[in-house]
Amino acid sequence: MRQVSFTDQNAIQLLHCGAEYFPALIEAFDAAQNEIYFETYIFAEDDTAERIKAALGRAAARGVIVNVITDWVGTGNTQANALQRDFEALGVAHYSFNPWFRRGIARMHRKLCVVDRVVAFLGGLNIVDDMHDDDDAHISLPAPRWDFGVRIHGPLVATIHWEMAVHWAQLGSLSWRTRWATFKEQRREHGSHGREPMIAGLVIRDNLRNRRTIQHAYLHALGSARHSAMLANPYFAPGRKMRNGLIQAAQRGVQVTLLLGAGQYRFQDVIARSFYPGLLKAGVRIVEYRKTQLHGKVAVVDDSWATVGSSNVDGFSLFVNQEANVVVIDATFACNLRRHIEQGVAEGVPMSMADFDSIPRYKRIAYRVAYFIYKNLMRVITWGKSAE
């Protein structure tokens, strides 16, 4: 497993929901002069997506090299084909990741962007309107989707650019100019041992050298936690090591809080709740967020360590899909993110053992059946690695 390479002297801004994220993205596209790399799981068909597409088209019309990757499952075959036609007309290069599962079951779940090797974006936001359901644009949400991204300036941008350029090369072809620039960038030492703010590292998960990197980052933070750990995630189905990390932190006296999405997928809710009793007994605080879709994948440990990204705490994100998170070591950034999580907790519904003591027998059986199905499905898909 490759270790995370941290750099200092970064400027990283937290962006909450699409109201902050999408305008920042469009502003960067409109300022682009040389190249744009862009990856997303979902590129929907709505007004927000049209604005992003138009901004990419304007950049291409100015002569900017624009490379876009969308996931075939996340975006859908029909929309992927429509995007291909639209992007070709705009002069934008586009790949649909792993159509018809030709490269196995892994999905490209990352949300990444680099513009001119100067500014990067990363997070959990897909290209879909904040007020539309992920699966059906005709379903309106009661409030904007709860999600986060970051805007990055500084040395970390070079690391993200290299990762995206290599990914693009794996899916297709690069010009000789871009190949040479990428080769030179790969040979540079991006890591730094400085101690000035803001220290941050790119944490990716793939099926090559980074199979467990994101889980390892979480476990290291939980194992080092002294006072508090707050995790927010929409799809919660942790393996044994992740569960043990949460439980052991709580048993050491760390105040562990989980803010979890609920109400989007019934089967996912049942799976997540199958873990609640064991975690609650260990002293882990669990709060369900039902105000709207919770889609953020974020965490703060001890007001100094924070992560924002695309990785859920489930078997698909931790053991199958391509994911990307950023880990930030900075008290100001961590406290800002903590305030958002605390607000989500205040708006959520706390769970207790009493909630489960009164659960009818048929629901208890349903929880066990759902967990059995999920556990064995993931064991087959991941060759047993999801149990870790």
Q: For every one of its 388 residues, what pLDDT tens digit does the chain have, with 9 covering 90 and above? A: 456 789 999 999 999 999 999 999 999 999 999 999 999 999 999 999 999 999 999 999 999 999 999 999 999 999 999 999 999 999 999 999 999 999 889 999 999 999 999 999 999 999 999 999 988 888 899 999 999 999 999 999 999 999 999 999 988 755 555 555 555 555 454 444 444 579 999 999 987 778 889 999 999 999 999 999 999 999 999 999 999 999 999 999 999 999 999 988 888 999 999 999 999 999 999 999 999 999 999 999 998 999 999 999 998 898 899 999 999 999 999 999 999 999 999 999 999 999 888 888 888 888 888 888 888 888 777 665 555 6
297, 314, 330, 340: the active-site residue: 297
Residue 208 and residue 133 share a domain: no
- Decide if 193 is inside a domain: no
Residue 184 appears among annotated catalytic residues: no
Residues 253 and 310 both lie in one domain: yes
State residue 331's pLDDT score.
96
Is 224 exposed, middle or buried (CB count within 10 Å of its CB: 0-12, 13-18, 19+)?
Answer: middle
211 and 183, same domain (yes or no): no
Contact criterion met (CB below 8 Å) for 121 and 112? yes
Are residues 241 and 310 located together in one domain of the fold? yes
Q: Are residues 278 and 228 in the same domain?
A: yes
In a domain, 84, yes or no: yes
Q: Which residues partner with 35 through β-bridges?
A: 65
Q: What angle do CA 147, 249, 341 make, to 5 degrees?
A: 20
pLDDT at 196: 56
Q: In the block, which residue shows the tokens 């695309």? A: 310
Total number of domains constituting the chain:
2
Would you call 116 a catalytic residue per the annotation? yes
385 has catalytic annotation = no
Handedness of CA 52, 58, 59, 61 (dihedral sign): positive
Q: Is 248 part of any domain?
A: yes
Q: Does 192 reside within a domain?
A: no
User: Residue 132 belongs to what domain range?
Assistant: 6-187
Q: Residues 1, 216: contact at Cβ < 8 Å?
A: yes
Task: Please identify, among 187, 214, 230, the residue that sits at the C-terminal boundary of a domain.
Answer: 187
Q: Which of 16, 94, 161, 295 is catalytic?
A: 295
Check residue 358 and report its DSSP letter: T
65/104 same-domain check: yes
Q: Which of 53, 94, 111, 340 is flagged as catalytic?
A: 111
Identity (one letter) of the amino acid at 50?
A: E
Token duo for residue 227? 């006072």
Judge if 102 and 215 occupy the same domain: no
- Collapsing DSSP to helix, strand or coil, 310 comes out as coil
Asked whether residue 196 is assigned to any structural domain, the reply reads no
CATH number assigned to the domain comprising residue 155: 3.30.870.10
Q: What is the rounded CA–CA span in Å between residue 276 and residue 202?
A: 31
- 161 an active-site residue? no
0.85 surpassed by pTM: yes
Collapsing DSSP to helix, strand or coil, 78 comes out as helix
Residue 155 DSSP code:
T
Longest dimension (CA), the chain: 66
Catalytic-role residue among 116, 133, 303, 355: 116
For residues 128 and 217, membership in a common domain is answered with no
Same domain assignment for residues 272 and 139: no
Does residue 295 carry a catalytic annotation? yes
- Final residue in a domain of this structure, among 187, 210, 233: 187
- 116 touches 164 (CB < 8 A): no
Per-residue pLDDT at 136: 83
User: Same domain, yes or no, for 150 and 244?
Assistant: no
* Residue 197 placed within a domain: no
Instruction: Give me the pLDDT at residue 5, please.
Output: 81
Which ranges of the chain would DSSP assign to H, the alpha helix?
17-31, 47-61, 72-75, 77-90, 156-171, 176-187, 213-224, 240-251, 266-281, 315-319, 331-347, 353-357, 361-381
Domain membership of residue 331 (yes or no) is yes
Residues 223 and 363 in one domain: yes
Active site residue 167: no
- Choosing from 302, 355, 375, 385, the catalytic residue is 302
Considering 158, 187, 216, which residue would you say is the last residue of a domain? 187
Instruction: Assess whether 107 and 237 both reside in one domain.
Output: no
Burial 247-262, CB ≥16 within 10 A → b, else e: bbbbeeebebbbbbbb
Is 348 within a domain?
yes
